[in-house]
Amino acid sequence: MLFGALEAGGTKMVCAIGDENGTILDQISIPTLTPEETMPLIIDYLKGKGIAALGVACFGPVDLDRKSETYGYITSTPKLAWLHYDIVGTLQKALNVPIGFDTDVNGSALGEATWGSTKGVENSIYITIGTGVGVGVIIGGKPYHGMMHPEGGHIFLSRHPSDMEFESKCPYHANCMEGLAAGPAIEKRWGKKGIELVDRKEVWELEAFYIGQALCNYIVTLSPQRIVLGGGVMGQTQLFPLVREEVRKQLNNYIQTKEMENLDTYIVPAGCGGDQGIKGCIKLAMNELGI
Ligand code: ADP
Ligand code: ZN
């Protein structure tokens, strides 16, 4: 059976065709311009491919409440061309197939939980640290929504004593994770992109301090059985041992479980090799058909 997948991002739209094994058979990428320019290209790609359902994992905030009049809309995004845009309705009208819809990070979390590092783990989280910070939450095998959906990139953190003067990159919050630790914050603080700061130990120690602190907050509130870290910034793989060490230090032995005894298998990189987002869309599509 064939499924359509759309990973809708702020800079690019990844469209793919895949099967029930999570195998991606074909894939394209389209720049995210305005809906008028971008949507027809997505529809052209997905049309006539014989897909049984479509899964869409979308940048947000989005309306995931199936009872809401604006279900399937991108809501209060700073990307103004997409403000209050009915992305699911538009695709539904053009393609006439069942559509599964979720946030971009819930999509990645689901991809990992189905075919990646959290396969077989009932309760897990996926954190992306890239242009922004997002947290996808899987509870009982399903993406968690709640009132809207988690916006875990905006949890408030205590600053490192050496970082008191830095002005947060988040336009809403002076001390949130995204404002202090996403890629653009690294670039603003140190004057260079992360990729050019590989040899600067202090950059990654501070980054690990914030990521570790955020993880401690997710661990005590959500009690995930495993945590996957992804996104461009985590391309700095030297962060993994530093983050694990910060988690150990900052939690201070408060949580004592078998998972916490081996942080190497508790805090892990993505297992889908960068395809967790698009594979998650395939699973969103499958979920619509109860597969
Ligand atoms: P997006 O979040 O837009 O989907 P990415 O996850 O690639 O895209 O994140 C982009 C951000 O991550 C940028 O701020 C970039 O500087 C940073 N970044 C990307 N790759 C690396 C890397 N290998 N090391 C450090 N920072 C990186
Ligand atoms: Zn914020």
User: 233-266, pLDDT tens digit by residue?
Assistant: 999 999 999 999 999 999 999 999 999 999 999 9
Structure confidence at residue 1 as a pLDDT band (50, 70, 90): very high
Structure confidence at residue 169 as a pLDDT band (50, 70, 90): very high
Residue of minimum CA distance from atom 15 in ligand 1 = 183
Structure confidence at residue 174 as a pLDDT band (50, 70, 90): very high
CB 43 within 8 A of CB 60: no
Strands (E), 44-174: 53-58, 73-74, 85-86, 99-103, 124-129, 133-139, 142-143
Residue 191: Cβ-neighbour burial (10 angstroms; 0-12, 13-18, 19+): exposed
Distance 232 CA to ligand 1 centre (A): 3
pLDDT tens string 62-80: 999 999 999 999 999 888 9
Q: What is the pLDDT of residue 17?
A: 98
pLDDT tens string 207-216: 999 999 999 9
CB 168 within 8 A of CB 154: no
pLDDT above 90 for 204: yes
Neighbouring CB atoms inside 10 A of 159's CB total: 17
Alpha-helix residue ranges (DSSP H) falling in 223-273: 239-251, 258-261, 263-266
Residue of minimum CA distance from atom 13 in ligand 1 = 183
Strands (E), the chain: 2-8, 12-19, 24-31, 53-58, 73-74, 85-86, 99-103, 124-129, 133-139, 142-143, 226-230, 267-269
Structure letter (DSSP) for residue 260: H
Shortest-distance atom of ligand 1 to CA 132? 2
In testing the pocket of ligand 1, which one of 59, 211, 233, 234 has its CB within 8 Å of the most ligand atoms?
A: 233
Q: What is the pLDDT of residue 78?
A: 83
Neighbouring CB atoms inside 10 A of 115's CB total: 20
Alpha-carbon span 70 to 49, nearest angstrom: 28
Distance 142 CA to ligand 2 centre (A): 26
Q: What is the pLDDT of residue 77?
A: 86
User: Mean per-residue pLDDT for 25-52?
Assistant: 98
Q: What percent of the chain has pLDDT over 70?
A: 100
Q: What is the pLDDT of residue 32?
A: 97
Give the β-pairing of 226-230 and 124-129: parallel
CB 62 within 8 A of CB 105: no
Tell me how many degrees the CA angle 136-137-140 measures, rounded to the nearest 5: 145
pTM above 0.75, yes or no: yes
Closest ligand to Cα 178: 2
Token look-up 């049984």 returns 52
Q: In the numeric block, which tokens belong to residue 257?
A: 């479980």
CB 163 within 8 A of CB 206: yes
Mean of the per-residue pLDDT values of the chain: 97
Structure confidence at residue 13 as a pLDDT band (50, 70, 90): very high
Q: What is the pLDDT of residue 187?
A: 98
Distance 236 CA to ligand 2 centre (A): 23
Residues with CB under 6 A from ligand 1: 9, 11, 130-131, 183-184, 193-195, 231-233, 235-236
Structure confidence at residue 228 as a pLDDT band (50, 70, 90): very high
CB-based contacts of 115, cutoff 8 Å, min separation 6: 22, 271, 272, 279, 283
Residue of minimum CA distance from atom 18 in ligand 1 = 232
Distance set, CA 260 to CA 85, 162, 207, 238 (Å)? 42, 28, 21, 20
Structure confidence at residue 58 as a pLDDT band (50, 70, 90): very high
Nearest to 194 by CA among 176, 180, 207: 207
Closest ligand to Cα 157: 2
pLDDT above 90 for 203: yes
In testing the pocket of ligand 1, which one of 11, 169, 193 has its CB within 8 Å of the most ligand atoms?
A: 193
CB 271 within 8 A of CB 116: yes
Closest ligand to Cα 133: 1
Sort residue 290 into left (φ over 0), alpha (ψ -120 to 50) or beta.
Answer: left
Alpha-carbon span 78 to 152, nearest angstrom: 17
Q: What is the pLDDT of residue 60?
A: 87
Distance 130 CA to ligand 1 centre (A): 4
Q: What percent of the chain has pLDDT over 90?
A: 99
Q: What is the pLDDT of residue 26?
A: 98
User: Mean per-residue pLDDT for 37-49?
Assistant: 98
